[in-house]
Homo-oligomer: A and B are copies of this chain.
Amino acid sequence: MDINGYMAIIIGISVASLLFVVWLARHVLSFDTGTPAMRAISDAIREGAEAFMRRQYGTIAKLSILLAAIIFVLYGFVRGHHNFDPVDSRMAMAWWITLSFVLGALCSGIAGFVGMWISIRTNIRAASAATRSLNDALRVALRGGAVSGLLVVAMSLLGVGGLYWLVDATTNVAQEKIPLMIVGYGFGASFVALFAQLGGGIYTKAADVGADLVGKVEAGIPEDDPRNPAVIADLVGDNVGDCAGRGADLFESTAAENIGAMILGAGVALAASKQGMAFAAGAIGVMLFPLIARAFGIIASIVGIMMVKTNEQEDPMKALNRGYFIAVVLAMIGFGFSTRWLLHIESAPNAWLYFFASGLIGVLTSVAFVFITQYYTEYKYRPVREIAEACQTGPATNIITGMAVALECTALPVLAISVAILSSYFLGEQALPGGGFFGTAVATMGMLATAAYILAMDTFGPITDNAGGIIEMSHQPEAIRKKTDRLDSVGNTTKALTKGYAIGSAALAAFLLFTAYLDEITNYTGTAFHVVDLGKPVVFVGALLGGMLIFLFSALAIRAVGKAAYYVINDVRQQFKEKPGILKGTEKPDYGRTVDIVTRGALKQMILPGILAIGMPILVGLSFRMFITEADPLIAAEAVAAFLMVGTIGGVLMALMFNNGGGAWDNAKKYIETGMYGGKGSDAHKAGVVGDTVGDPFKDTAGPSLHVLIKMLATITLVLAPLFI
């Protein structure tokens, strides 16, 4: 098959999926929107969320344009043309890299915006459906989430495939060098994801912590009380953090992974034909394998999503798991088919089977992450119970025990990742000498095959959370509240699982991405560059700085929440002072004003950690050029590689610590609320609330931002690599 044939499949499936998304969105929007009381609340959330998104994406757009200009100048004017460049002039180079960056940023923005748009319209419909049946509510919420999930994955596929095809059709760049021209797409996506996750994460927790402190602690009114001017900001937060943030996160994952795997695929196909073990489908088939496999994964996810149904008695989590199982099995069938089709080697007839096994390892890794996350964050198990028990002796022992759990929970995921990397690497080597790294890439593709389904489950979380809030604030009958409570608790689980999945896939993809970075440098310079030698002082210092970035970035992200929360507290205090009727229930608070203030606060606070994350790898790469000698011309590139790798190791460990620690504190409080150790209102419960509050910026700001950060580090180094040599 020639490139046009492959492209027809890839672009065809992604466009078809987008059309399906449009149908699905219309289908979800066709559901009814409940009572006027419900609509009033939903409208307030929608307005707040849209106001935030407009401002946030406005800021991100400005930052993106600025960075695009910088990239263009660096490539077009500062950096000279090199013989090893894939195009003839430095302007052409600048043009393609900048274009792909802008497209990546744009697509990520669209995916986040649309996902959020549908999610704030689905919450009211899910709430209304809950007045009819649990099954209706579940399906509406999941399908609303699926709009976001499918859109993200289909757009990422269309973007990478379309760009590849565009470069191929309009330039004479060698096909195996095209991925080098479009790495900017992944970087654009991760740049937007970083700010979307940071801004959303800061917003959601600033509103949450601020509302709690000023409402519960100072004014003595309960959580989610409509007299609290910050209550709508809090509900808005769930959408902008979990929904838009995680969408951008996984958009980036799939885009970066596609490009990285294509770079590796080009390399492995070349190596194979040199050894006389050419792939039957040719280099182009191997290189486009990631896109084809992903396309089949989208179809599998659609089928899985549409099959989900439940009844009034069943645990809704079981229904979601059933759908996931269907999606996994179908995706693996498609995966097996595409490995046989595109990764077959005539002279080594078992090679494709080894690659297929690598893909299965990726799937098993995602399952392992799901189980480990459950173990550390659900109150059925030892860790959360231990934390709840420690609440009896006050907040200090709660925090100490929680920190011990948070630190401990890094061990099993690291073992799982280690086994996955090594076994997929050795399977790859079995398939084809030198195919080891491609084996790890295939494992990552396996892990991400069902990304659309996972993301649908994730967006399901804020939708059901909001639906519950709408039902509660509009004073619906107890029986309906029970239904939305059940869905909400399932949503909490799926949100936690997605974080585990996101960090697991980031860890696995990271290895693929820095192999791609090494390959890219090799490709540019023509000299093999595969050694990142920690024994060199300059490289070791690069590694040390990479580890430090993780700590400093986390510090800034956590501090940003504290600062933005103060804006909320001050505004609420002022509203209580200006309108004394609010607390008596005779006057309505100005929800919009609080939303606006926390929006501006969050966006202001996201700048500093964002600049650190972008600036530090560039600074290290450019300033370490001073260590370049004739004997060691790639020392700066090598130091950046160590920066990236050790930054990734630190980022994975810290993200696990933050995510699971925060989740465990949250559920320890919930466990006490089931009546343990004196239940709600007891001293143990008060201690539990402290832990929950501490965990909030951990699990919803610092942890998720770290996922994005480590992928952003990988894509920024991929894009700027030519500047370091």
Contact = CB atoms under 8 A, between A and B. Distances in A.
A291 interface: no
A562 interface: yes
Interface string A548-560: 1001101110110
A543 interface: yes
Nearest to A425: B537
Contacts of A88: none
A32 interface: no
B425 A653 contact: no
Given A400-B561, A641-B535, A394 B551 contact: no
A725 to B, nearest CB: 16
A659 to B, nearest CB: 13
Interface string A502-540: 000000000100110010000000000011111101101
A395 interface: yes
A596 interface: no
B649 A547 contact: yes
A647 to B, nearest CB: 10
A541 interface: yes
A371 B646 CA distance: 27
Contacts of A693: 396-397, 400
A393 interface: yes
A432 to B, nearest CB: 15
Nearest to A649: B547
A548 B543 CA distance: 16
Interface in A376-427: 390, 393-397, 399-401, 403-408, 410-411, 414-415, 417-418, 421-422, 425
Contacts of A422: 537-538, 541
Most buried by B among A411, A534, A552, A694: A534
Contact of A407 (B209, B436, B554): B554
Interface residues of A, number: 74
A537 B511 contact: yes
A206 B693 CA distance: 26
Nearest to A683: B217
Contacts of A537: 421-422, 425, 436-437, 440, 511
A426 B536 CA distance: 12
Interface in A315-370: none
A143 to B, nearest CB: 37
B543 A649 contact: yes
A657 B551 contact: yes
A425 to B, nearest CB: 4
A220 to B, nearest CB: 14
B694 A396 contact: yes
A408 B535 contact: no
Given A400-B697, A414-B544, A562 B650 contact: no
Contact of A653 (B534, B551, B556, B657): B551
A546 to B, nearest CB: 8
Given A395-B690, A537-B440, A562-B397, A548 B390 contact: no
A690 B393 contact: no
Given A213-B394, A400-B558, A646-B649, A418 B535 contact: no
Given A396-B693, A414-B545, 16 more contacts: A213-B394, A395-B690, A400-B562, A403-B558, A408-B552, A408-B555, A421-B537, A422-B538, A422-B541, A436-B537, A514-B535, A515-B535, A518-B535, A534-B645, A543-B646, A547-B653
